[in-house]
Amino acid sequence: MKRAEHRAWIEFSSAALGDIWGLETISDEAGFRAKAKQAEARFAKLEERLVASPWFDGEVFSLVDAVFAPAFRYFDVFDEIGDFGILANKPKIARWRKSLQGRESVKNAVGANYHDLLRAFMAKHGAYLSQLDRRAAA
């Protein structure tokens, strides 16, 4: 039963990553706001289910944790650009995200220049986020 539920949440993470793809590539404000609202609703569902003490289902790191770690890494950059309310008022997600950020395998999954590469990707795609990004403009 738990394996089936975890598979469903892994599939859910694919949809969340699709939302994130939109956030990092949509070029107009209205489209961005619509995608942000969609992403916020998706993460609200995750907040309802999450145990986050410290992992998705409690004390044991699972594949669900592994597939959501990259999603939260995008938000590390998004948060530097602005507060779009997507993860606001989601304390379980905040705790889970912090646990994931502290895990060595998650930290070492990308290079030190990850934030710069994501910013360059967004700028290349003419993303609305890159228009707001003061660091990219500097």
Beta carbons of 32 and 82 less than 8 angstroms apart = no
Spans of all domains in the chain? 2-137
pLDDT at residue 49 tops 90: yes
Confidence at 135, pLDDT banded by 50, 70, 90: low
Tens digits of per-residue pLDDT, 35-48?
Answer: 999 999 999 999 99
Q: What is the pLDDT of residue 124?
A: 95
Beta carbons of 23 and 36 less than 8 angstroms apart = yes
CA distance 93 to 115: 21
The pTM of this model reads 0.90
Choose which CATH entry (3.40.50.2000, 1.20.1050.10, 2.40.50.140, 3.90.550.10) describes domain 2-137.
1.20.1050.10
